[in-house]
Amino acid sequence: MKIAGIIAEYNPFHNGHAEQIRLLRSQYGFEGIVVCMSGCFTQRGEPALISKEARAKAAVASGADLVLELPVPYATGSAEFFAGGGVRLLSSLGCVDTLAFGMEDPDEEALKELGRRLYVLEHSQDYHMSITTLTKQGMSYPLARMRLLEEEGASDKELSLLRSPNDLLAVEYAKAVLSRQSSLELLPLLRKGAAYHEDRLPREGDAEDAHSSAKAIRTFLKTAGASAAKTRLAAYLPKASMDAILSEQPVFPESFSDELYYQLIMHEQEGYSGFLDVSEDYSDKIRKLLPEYRGWESFAALLKSRDITASRISRMLLHILLGIGKYPFFHIVKNSEIPYGRILALNPDSPMLHELKDSPLPRFTNPYPYFKKLKTGSEKSLLALELLSEKLYHLKNRTS
């Protein structure tokens, strides 16, 4: 059976996502589709708009066969960790042939070459020293890495792939497949509709454009509220997503402002450099600016500097909120296999489920009985963090 894998956030699941699933079946002939999806918190360092259960059910309603959860340290990590975690999980199933993903410019040859070039560069002896030198000069990490790739002979076509979030993730997928020596084939698909960073919905009444970016949908809900969603968002969302938005309480970073402040003052004395993504310099900066804290988003804006991306700032704060320390989680996301697959939703009538019978990856829906079966401390830490994160999330994500 021909099975495709997708690594996604679905924040929220919209028409573009549904179209990708339809395309994989109708045009490429895939008989099964497995999705590896972020849970309660996302790679941008923010809570998901609606619950992971609702997003997974929307994907299955639109044609996915199985949705597995990407554990939270990977889901909230850098593009490298996010992509690496998804590739590990899909590869571990043993039945997924192909990794499919959207790109602004799906040039498979340039993608594979840049993935190879980046893998070699990051494993070179002087890489980290060179990156540190450039970032101390005020250059952001993405720009510093691009500079080094340029010096190593990367073409303009290859470098252009690092300028779009979707294409950047695609490069990390290619690198992860190479690094892991995975058998997954890469299938880049042309991304349609609004740009990734577009924060405005298409003009009302524009019948030709039924695609909106996820960011534009989140921005609309944040400013207009769920009460205005039914008339304005119905054109861009499958029914299952629309129903979830109307029945749940959408969640935003500001929803956790009090909880974040509590964590910040709790750790003020020892500092924050023990948390994933937080450097000593940024630990000092957080402590210095803490008296000016008024909320998550305004504090993130205070912390922003030209050498650190906004997403990296949000990830720092999120890791402090969730207690994601460098120990043991850096080692886990960098080196460890994902020891289980937590099922968020599935199609019980899918023939693909028979292909999973011989999969070596343990799978479950209820995590609590499985927790007792875990053997190592790192495995237990991974699942315990997941359970804690979802309990915190559901304090804010109430259903009506």
Q: For residues 6 and 98, what is the distance between their CA atoms, to the nearest angstrom?
A: 9
Q: Domain of residue 64: give its range.
A: 3-216+337-377
Instruction: Provide the domain count of the chain.
Output: 1
Identify the pLDDT of residue 400: 53
pLDDT tens digit string along 88-112? 999 999 999 999 999 988 999 999 9
90 within a domain of the structure (yes/no): yes
Identify the pLDDT of residue 258: 98
351 within a domain of the structure (yes/no): yes
- Domain of 342, CATH number, reads 3.40.50
Length of the chain: 400
98-103 and 3-8: which strand pairing? parallel
Out of 222-231, 280-289, 358-367, least confident range? 222-231
Q: What is the mean pLDDT of the chain?
A: 92
Q: Which strands make up the sheet holding 3-8, listed edge to edge?
A: 185-190, 98-103, 3-8, 32-38, 66-70, 341-346, 363-364
Share of the chain above pLDDT 70, in %: 96
pLDDT tens digit string along 111-132? 999 999 999 999 998 998 999 8
Q: For residues 92 and 174, what is the distance between their CA atoms, to the nearest angstrom?
A: 17
Task: Give the residue, 370 or 199, on which the prediction is more confident.
Answer: 370
332 within a domain of the structure (yes/no): no
293 within a domain of the structure (yes/no): no
Mean pLDDT calculated for residue range 381-391 = 95
258 within a domain of the structure (yes/no): no
110 within a domain of the structure (yes/no): yes
Model confidence at 204, pLDDT cuts 50, 70, 90, reads low
pLDDT tens digit string along 229-264? 888 898 999 999 999 999 999 999 999 999 999 999
The strand ranges marked E within 20-153 are: 32-38, 66-70, 98-103
Count of beta carbons in the 10 Å neighbourhood of residue 334: 11
221 within a domain of the structure (yes/no): no
304 within a domain of the structure (yes/no): no
Identify the pLDDT of residue 195: 57
